[in-house]
Amino acid sequence: MRPIPMRQARRRLAVIWLAGGGVLFVIIVLQSIFGKFGDKVDEAFQWFLPAIVPTCSLILGVLLASALALSREVKLVDRFVYRLTAALSLAYLLMVSLSILMSPFSETPPLELMRQSNLWLGPLQGLVGGALGLFFVSKEKENPVDGGG
Amino acid sequence: MRWSCCSPVQTATYPRVDEGAEVTAPMSRQGDFCRSSLRAKGRCVLATALALSALVLASCKGPPAAPGHGSEDGCAACGDGSGVPEGEGDEPPPVECDEPKEAGSGEDELPEFEWPPPKPSASVFVPRDLVLGADAAPTLGSSAARLEAALTRAGFAEWGYYHVPGGFALVSRLEQIERDGNPHRDRWAVDVSPRRAFSLWTYVSALFSATTGRFRVIVFVVTDTPFRPTAPPPDGPTAIAWLEQGMTGLPAPVRGRPYTTEHTCKALIYEFFKATPDHDAAIELPSHLDGRAHLTKAGIWGGLGG
């Protein structure tokens, strides 16, 4: 499997997180405006923001930093690892969106459903964070190589 | 050296006894159990302790025996000090009411409704002719029977009776209603139900707007005592508990009392609003509907013949 340039992998992951997180953010804002949460809007944002903002902030920060430090050096990353990270990111964002989009079908009140979702989002967030760390924290250097394995 | 007898009715002094010294003690009025030795002193102390214990046990009264009845034996407004925590077990503990009811009147079987009653969302006087009908010799029992019949025609199957000065209070079951006062399709659900009809518009509406809930409890107060509801309004759980703690019917002595010209029947309507399923139901003060509208929408006014 051919490796993928790190820069390309970062951009794709950034699109996944910023687009997915942005859409969910707009939904939460609209729900707040239309009174979905009554006077407990703060509880809804207390659940949502820690689930999305830290990762998006990290991604955006690294992208901006790398944009100011352009280099001719091409870093490569295993394509399988990139795909695994992308799948985990999509799965996590799907779990977060289910807690919001499935509330009309649930007998559980919306805010209570959000609190319950922390049970399954917590472990998943750990996996996703670990995988994203390779792309947005690691400073591993690799020489340009041909497409081996 | 002489020992004084160590009895409760005598003060005693105990001079120091040298080892090996022979001591004697006088006879006490309570018996010849005082001796001039350490063993005698111990027996004296033991006897005193036993006497005191017997005195304490004789004066100790056990807790009142719990009657084999339900809530009608208690005063809901008072505490009983029996030490039994409220809410435990199937039967409330017996209490001593600050306002003792007339013995043998049947009132002592009815639980006490908060008096004056809590401030309602709306209220209305039920006309005498609706409460009594064509009854020539009306009694509290006949008025209660007409109210029960009206509740039954309106779809209510449960109610509870309480004692109030000069009469009784009849509490209906909590029902869920629409904003216009008509019964909700899930009338007897105490929680807000999710929307059932599925369409894209219904889903989007449910996604972005809250599912609210309105609830209502009606209390008919039949009394010959003028009153003004000034007590703090109840919350949802309290209103639900009214039905659970009320008696299912009036005791015979109460039923037979005459419904005099001084008696009136006032319906107190307590309406609760739940902004979202995550919120607690809060009392609506005042309701946007008047008391007669509530009784009409509930089907009770028509059931009385109005």
Decide if B209 and A34 are in contact by the 8 Å CB cutoff.
yes
Q: Say what the ipTM of the complex is.
A: 0.81
A30-57 tens-digit pLDDT: 999 999 999 999 999 999 999 999 999 9
> Which of A23, A30, A32, A36 should one mutate to test binding to chain B, selecting the residue with the greatest count of B CBs within 10 A?
A36
- Interval A136-147 mean pLDDT: 53
Decide if B278 and A101 are in contact by the 8 Å CB cutoff.
no
- Interval B20-44 mean pLDDT: 54
Torsion on CA atoms B54, B55, B61, B62, rounded to nearest 10: -20
Which range (A84-93, B96-105, B140-149) has the least confidence? B96-105
Place of tokens 């979202």: B276
Q: Which residues of A touch B209 (CB under 8 A)?
A: 34-36
Which residues make beta-bridge pairs with B265? B126, B222
Q: What's the gap in Å between the CA of A146 and the closest CA on chain B? A: 50
For residues A66-78, one letter each, b for 16 or more C-beta atoms within 10 angstroms of the residue's C-beta and e for the rest, the string is eeeeeeeeebbbe
Residue B13 has pLDDT above 50, yes or no: no
Interchain contact B208–A (C-beta under 8 A): yes
Burial of B293 (0-12, 13-18, 19+ CB in 10 A): middle
- Is B95:B71 a contact under the CB 8 Å cutoff? no
Nearest CA to B82 among B90, B72, B92? B92
Predicted local distance difference test score (pLDDT) of residue B59 = 57
- Interval B219-235 mean pLDDT: 94
Decide if B208 and A109 are in contact by the 8 Å CB cutoff.
no
Interchain contact B232–A (C-beta under 8 A): no
What is the spatial distance between Cα B249 and Cα B298, in angstroms, rounded to a whole number? 22
Non-local CB neighbours of B218 within 8 Å, separated by 6+ positions:
B171, B172, B267, B268, B269, B270, B294, B295, B298, B300
A-B C-beta contacts closer than 8 Å? 49
Specify the higher pLDDT residue, B274 or A74: B274
- Is A49:A29 a contact under the CB 8 Å cutoff? no
Place of tokens 């209906």: B172
The answer to whether the predicted template modeling score (pTM) of the entire model surpasses 0.80 is no
Sign of CA dihedral B69, B73, B79, B83: negative
Residue B105 has pLDDT above 70, yes or no: no
Strands of B173-252 (E only): list them. 175-177, 213-223
Strands of B103-235 (E only): list them. 122-126, 159-164, 167-172, 175-177, 213-223
Q: Which residues of B touch A111 (CB under 8 A)?
A: 276, 278
Nearest CA to B284 among B215, B195, B205? B215
Q: Which residue of A has its CA nearest to B205?
A: A104
Helix (H) or strand (E) holding A104: none
Distance separating the N- and C-terminal Cα atoms of chain A: 5
Predicted local distance difference test score (pLDDT) of residue B44 = 66
Non-local CB neighbours of B50 within 8 Å, separated by 6+ positions:
none
Report A:33-92 residues touching B (Cβ under 8 A): 34-40, 43
Decide if A109 and B277 are in contact by the 8 Å CB cutoff.
yes
Non-local CB neighbours of A128 within 8 Å, separated by 6+ positions:
A55, A85, A88, A89, A91, A92
Residue of A36, A107, A111 with shortest CB distance to B208: A36
Decide if B207 and A104 are in contact by the 8 Å CB cutoff.
yes
Q: Model confidence at B306, in pLDDT bands (50, 70, 90)?
A: confident
- Is B75:B96 a contact under the CB 8 Å cutoff? yes
What is the spatial distance between Cα B267 and Cα B171, in angstroms, rounded to a whole number? 10
Residue A85 has pLDDT above 50, yes or no: yes
Decide if A40 and B277 are in contact by the 8 Å CB cutoff.
no
Predicted local distance difference test score (pLDDT) of residue A68 = 77
Residue A140 has pLDDT above 60, yes or no: no
B140-194 tens-digit pLDDT: 999 999 999 999 999 999 999 999 999 999 999 999 999 999 999 989 988 776 6
